[in-house]
């Protein structure tokens, strides 16, 4: 993919290129990440040079994430020869690379990830012999480095203002340390959007009240500024004021005595203030560590691991740099002695759990892909924090382990954990050979091959999932690769744009681990009710486990329901910028994904959007609606009229919309049908006048600026901002863009060739030829003043009096035949194509309306985010979350049935915050059966029945102590105890399948192997009881 823009348009290209491009950022590549970090942070990253030392799994994971994020340059250092065991987690090494220097082999493969980031190997033989060379870097990341080297390098970096991140994993244990020097400035500690709102009042004590509808969402110590306050003008502008929260709708700004007396109005806006942090050097922190908790259920573990990992380094120092042998008791004893010496030496005595330290020694040579993913995501995010000042760093240590992932059903011993000379040795060192064979024979289903899907497949390839004779992986994704995917969906390259995600991802991971050849089934089908003939009973019953990698709730809910139905374990995960979560769904143990719901999306009242916007979100929603009203709806209606023989007849029967439909057809096919591009410009210019001048004049005619409400208050106050009409000016870029983009989209509807920005002079000429009549307000127009008022135009549907007028419009339309095969092309909204004028139109339309109402405008980037409902995303969070998912999959494959061993995870890398909780148990119920109380799992249990008669079915339930009072299937009511005897006489002898087909008047599809019945019943106490559904098994 070559495009001249690509060479210069990045923050991460060379400085000269940056100067030429004025430091612009390639938004099509970095789009989703920009919504996490913002332009300023990305520009700072674009001036940064990073060194990553150590290129086993963890090092390459960090390098991958940094390269995708976009920095000025990335240098890698690891001259050690690659070993076969590195392939346990180093996804850019191949078996033929064994023996070659790791950095020489890895550099070209990391280079492919991002054409903007130059990647090279560090030239020195060792880092410690040439510390001076480190001055070329802003951040140095150390992995797989001895403690002596860590001390030497970190001390030099601390002295010379170079930021340091040190991270390592040992089997299921891992740690990270950061040192960003003295007085490190964090520009935005949380990454959350600044809060803003409308002031309802400020009293003489400085207590600010906000409008009742919205909580202010501020916290003690936040800072705000004010604008548009009347009376108390002194509060407007000026330095940000520190606040104290008094309640959800009030906060105090302290002394306001010198600012005047408050009259009305005002807006408040939160201001992010920088935070300054002092870091201590590594040597000092080694003795007195500042520990950040990763899991509050393991409160005493970080301090022990801090000692334990130092003990591992002490062992390595006396054994030629080698860590303890896997599961070797002699070595573990030696590590424990070192640990006991260290634990007693410090000021704070640390109580050691001997079993924990021994386990750390057993696993020290372990190398697990999901742990590399977790710490690789974390470390790369810390590097980005260091160079951008965005988000709060880890201060200064974080330890994490997942000992719950150790298998209990497969044996571990020194014999079973010793190296076998294969690519899985790093994993066998931790789990043993038996468990590795178990992993290989799993049948796994992955739904989605986007960002999480790519990371998931990479992890599965590394751990050898599904590579055995009975193993397999099925992956499905209906999407094709787009350019904006390349920034975080790291299995895809520019040459893959336009290819299917599932096929491309499968090919990429088969190249990473050839053991997967022939083991991945890549599909392009959506998993939904429409594809149950593909993902049928046989398919689901053949699976061992399911993983979601989806970004929409409907699809996740559907997969979740199928997993509950077929009793399959599911791990679901999601990310939103720096936030991520994982959820484990286990048959008969936990609740499911659908058991809880997210709060609904924010929606705006129509009256606010139509006449009284006060936020940019209102004007963007209005502009998106206008886009649909202009370029989608009319074309679709006209095409229906042309293609459906009796479209008018049915349209005129729809109460309320007849006039609107006919007028739309008349405009699209007669009065506004353009013959040339000039007609399109003329139409667009009229639309500008209609929306930004005439409509506003009409609104001010109905509600003049000095009008009062019935209670005598000014009408234009509180959330209502008084607008002003706009006068069209072709030299104003926003005015011109509105007309150009509207004309082009109108032209697209009619198959007329568009014009570009470069044709501005020609288009302006056309605009100047348009005669725009002067507007006179219409006294007959009614406008809804409040959302609670009835809409005065809603009842104004076409009544009998209008029939003649309607007929007149209908008669003026050309017949479909007369149009001779003419059709319109509706516009399909596509946010990521910068050449199609969609976002240009919405941005211009929204900002012009914002100008009408004196609302701060939004640039194209922000408008695209809101209008396109873009989910912000960054590779670091995705990698980390996927690591957590795979740690849970290890438990599922082991067959653990203790809910306390599993963890749902919640992370926010910006804060940083880590929260883990055991999954919520599925709800249980009870009923009185013939032999006493029966307990049921309300989510996972069901009754199963053969295809018996209805009479037999009712008898079978009587035997369970349940008297069935009603049976339904889908929308059909099949039986009710109150039915008259005549009705029952016909139904009781029918088999259940016949009953369903008779009542629904539809045959049961051939591929369907079962039918679901919902029943209501009473137990032996004649009480209504909640009972599970019934599944009828069909003999097919």
- According to the 3-state scheme, what is the secondary structure of 958-987? HHCCCEEEEEEECCEEEEECCCCHHHHHHH
> Whose CA is closest to 456, among 510, 531, 415, 509?
509
- Contact present, 899 and 937 (Cβ < 8 Å): no
Owning domain of residue 541 = 441-604+899-920
Say if 644 falls within a structural domain.
yes
pLDDT of residue 420: 95
> CA–CA distance from 407 to each of 441, 616, 785, 1010 (Å)?
16, 54, 66, 36
Say if 400 falls within a structural domain.
no
Residues of the chain short of pLDDT 50, as ranges, are: 1-22, 797-798, 801
Instruction: Give me the number of domains the chain comprises.
Output: 4
Say if 225 falls within a structural domain.
yes
Peptide bond into 798 cis (omega under 30): no
| Residue at a domain's end among 247, 271, 295 | 271
Same domain, 909 and 933: no
How do residues 463-520 score in pLDDT, each as one tens digit?
999 999 999 999 999 999 998 898 889 999 999 999 999 999 999 999 999 999 999 9
Same domain, 497 and 565: yes
pLDDT of residue 656: 65
pLDDT of residue 16: 34
Same domain, 585 and 679: no
465 is written with which tokens? 């999932």
The pTM of this model reads: 0.90
Distance of CA 743 to the CA centre of its chain: 35
Same domain, 905 and 1000: no
Active site members: 607
pLDDT of residue 27: 83
Q: Where are the beta strands (DSSP E) in 236-310?
A: 241-242, 244-247, 250-252, 267-271, 275-277, 291-292
747 is written with which tokens? 């032209």
φ, ψ of residue 208 to 5 degrees: the values are -95, 130
Same domain, 813 and 928: no
Task: Provide CB contacts within 8 A for 607, sequence distance 6+.
Answer: 784, 785, 786, 787, 789, 791
Say if 369 falls within a structural domain.
no
Question: What CATH number has the domain bearing residue 595?
Answer: 3.40.50.720
Same domain, 799 and 908: no
How do residues 280-321 score in pLDDT, each as one tens digit?
999 999 999 999 999 998 999 999 999 999 999 999 999 999
> Whose CA is closest to 871, among 549, 572, 491, 575?
575
Question: What CATH number has the domain bearing residue 990?
Answer: 3.10.290.60
φ, ψ of residue 582 to 5 degrees: the values are -130, 145
| Residue at a domain's end among 838, 854, 870 | 854
Same domain, 763 and 626: yes
Same domain, 594 and 634: no
Say if 714 falls within a structural domain.
yes
Question: What CATH number has the domain bearing residue 258?
Answer: 2.40.30.180
Say if 10 falls within a structural domain.
no
Same domain, 932 and 850: no
Peptide bond into 685 cis (omega under 30): no
pLDDT of residue 2: 33
Same domain, 636 and 751: yes
CA distance 13 to 117: 6
DSSP helix/strand/coil, 596: coil
| Residue at a domain's end among 221, 238, 271 | 271
Same domain, 685 and 555: no
Same domain, 586 and 622: no
Say if 949 falls within a structural domain.
yes
350 is written with which tokens? 């640390």
Say if 753 falls within a structural domain.
yes
């Amino acid at each position: 993919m070559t495009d001249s823009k690509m060479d210069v348009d990045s923050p991460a290209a060379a400085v000269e290129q940056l100067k030429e491009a004025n430091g612009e950022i390639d938004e099509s590549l970095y789009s989703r990440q920009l919504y996490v970090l913002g332009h300023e942070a990305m520009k700072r990253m674009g001036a940064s040079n990073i060194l990553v030392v150590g290129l086993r799994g963890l090092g390459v994971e960090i390098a991958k994430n940094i390269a995708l994020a976009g920095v000025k340059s990335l240098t890698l250092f690891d001259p050690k020869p690659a070993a076969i065991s590195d392939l346990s987690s180093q996804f850019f090494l191949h078996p033929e690379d064994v023996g070659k220097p790791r950095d020489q082999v890895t550099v070209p493969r990391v280079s492919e990830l991002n054409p903007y980031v130059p990647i090279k190997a560090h030239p020195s033989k060792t880092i410690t012999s040439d510390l001076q060379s480190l001055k070329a870097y802003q951040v140095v990341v150390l992995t797989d480095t001895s403690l002596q080297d860590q001390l030497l390098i970190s001390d030099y970096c601390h002295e010379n203002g170079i930021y340091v991140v040190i991270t390592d994993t040992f089997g299921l244990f891992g740690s990270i340390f950061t040192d960003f020097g003295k007085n490190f400035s964090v520009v935005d500690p949380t990454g959350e959007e600044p809060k803003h709102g409308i002031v309802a009042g400020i009293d003489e004590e400085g207590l600010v009240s906000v409008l009742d509808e919205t909580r202010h969402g501020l916290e003690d110590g936040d800072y705000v500024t004010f604008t548009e306050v009347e009376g108390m003008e002194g509060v407007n502008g000026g330095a940000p004021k520190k606040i104290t929260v008094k309640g959800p709708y009030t906060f105090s700004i302290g002394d306001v005595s010198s600012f005047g007396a408050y009259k009305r109005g005002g807006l408040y806006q939160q201001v992010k203030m920088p935070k300054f942090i002092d870091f201590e050097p590594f040597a000092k922190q080694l003795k007195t560590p500042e520990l950040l908790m990763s899991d509050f259920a393991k409160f005493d573990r970080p301090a022990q691991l801090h000692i334990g990992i130092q003990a591992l380094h002490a062992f390595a120092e006396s054994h030629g740099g080698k860590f303890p042998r896997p599961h070797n008791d002699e070595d573990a004893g030696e590590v424990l002695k070192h640990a006991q010496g260290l634990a007693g030496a410090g000021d704070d005595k640390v109580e050691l759990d001997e079993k924990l330290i021994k386990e750390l020694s057993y696993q020290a040579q372990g190398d697990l892909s999901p742990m590399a993913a977790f710490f690789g995501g974390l470390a790369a995010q810390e590097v980005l924090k260091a160079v951008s000042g965005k988000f709060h760093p880890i201060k200064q240590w974080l330890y994490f382990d997942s000992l719950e992932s150790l298998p209990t059903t497969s044996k571990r011993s020194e014999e079973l954990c010793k190296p076998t000379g294969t690519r899985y040795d790093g994993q066998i060192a931790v789990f043993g050979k038996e468990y590795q064979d178990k992993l290989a024979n799993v049948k796994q289903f992955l739904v989605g091959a986007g960002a999480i899907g790519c990371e998931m497949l990479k992890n599965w390839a590394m751990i050898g999932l599904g590579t055995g004779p009975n193993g397999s992986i099925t992956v499905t994704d209906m999407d094709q690769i787009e350019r904006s995917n390349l920034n975080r969906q790291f299995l895809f390259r520019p040459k893959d744009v336009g290819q299917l995600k599932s096929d491309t991802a499968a090919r990429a991971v088969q190249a990473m681990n050839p053991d997967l050849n022939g083991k991945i089934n890549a599909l392009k089908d959506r998993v939904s009710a429409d594809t149950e003939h593909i993902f049928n009973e046989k398919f689901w019953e053949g699976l061992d486990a399911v993983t979601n990698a989806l970004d929409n709730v409907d699809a996740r809910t559907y997969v979740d329901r199928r997993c509950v139905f077929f009793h399959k374990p599911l791990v679901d995960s999601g990310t939103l910028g720096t936030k991520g979560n994982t959820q484990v769904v286990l048959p008969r143990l936990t609740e499911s994904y659908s058991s809880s719901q997210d709060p609904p999306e924010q929606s705006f009242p129509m009256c606010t959007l139509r006449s009284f916007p006060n936020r940019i979100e209102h004007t963007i929603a209005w502009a998106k609606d206008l886009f649909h009203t202009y370029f989608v709806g009319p074309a679709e209606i006209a095409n229906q009229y042309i293609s459906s023989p009796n479209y008018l007849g049915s349209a005129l029967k729809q109460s309320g919309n007849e006039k609107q439909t006919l007028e739309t057809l008349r405009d699209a096919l007669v009065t506004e049908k353009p013959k040339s591009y000039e007609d399109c410009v003329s139409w667009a210019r009229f639309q500008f006048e209609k929306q930004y001048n005439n409509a506003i004049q009409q609104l001010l005619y109905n509600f003049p600026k000095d009008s009062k409400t019935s209670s005598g208050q000014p009408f234009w106050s509180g959330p209502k901002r008084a607008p002003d009409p706009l006068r069209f000016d072709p030299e104003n870029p926003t005015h011109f863009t509105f007309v150009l983009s509207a004309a082009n989209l109108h032209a697209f509807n009619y198959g007329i060739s568009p014009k570009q920005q470069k044709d501005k002079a020609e288009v302006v000429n056309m605009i100047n030829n348009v005669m725009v009549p002067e507007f006179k307000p219409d006294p007959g127009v009614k406008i809804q003043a409040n959302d609670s008022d009835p809409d005065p135009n809603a009842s104004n549907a076409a009544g009998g009096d209008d029939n003649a007028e309607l007929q007149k419009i209908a008669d003026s339309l050309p017949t479909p035949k007369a149009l001779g095969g003419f059709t319109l092309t509706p516009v399909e909204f596509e946010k990521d194509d910068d050449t199609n004028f969609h976002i240009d139109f919405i941005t211009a339309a929204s900002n012009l309306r914002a100008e009408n109402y004196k609302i701060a405008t939004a640039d194209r980037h922000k408008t695209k985010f809101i209008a396109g409902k873009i989910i912000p995303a960054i590779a670091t969070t995705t990698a980390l979350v996927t690591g957590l998912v795979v740690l849970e999959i290890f438990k599922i494959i082991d067959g653990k049935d203790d809910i306390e061993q599993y963890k749902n995870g919640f992370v926010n890398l910006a804060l940083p915050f880590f929260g883990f909780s055991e999954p919520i148990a599925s709800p249980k119920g009870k009923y009185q059966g013939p032999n006493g109380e029966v307990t049921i799992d309300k989510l996972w249990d069901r009754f199963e029945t053969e295809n018996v008669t209805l009479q037999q079915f009712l008898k079978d339930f009587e035997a369970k102590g349940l008297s069935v009072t009603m049976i339904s299937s889908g929308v059909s009511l099949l039986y009710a105890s109150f039915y008259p005897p005549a009705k029952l006489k016909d139904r009781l002898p029918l088999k259940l399948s016949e009953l369903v087909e008779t009542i629904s008047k539809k045959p049961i599809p051939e591929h369907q192997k079962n039918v679901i019945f919902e029943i209501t019943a009473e137990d032996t106490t004649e009480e209504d009881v909640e009972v599970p559904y019934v599944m009828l098994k069909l003999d097919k």
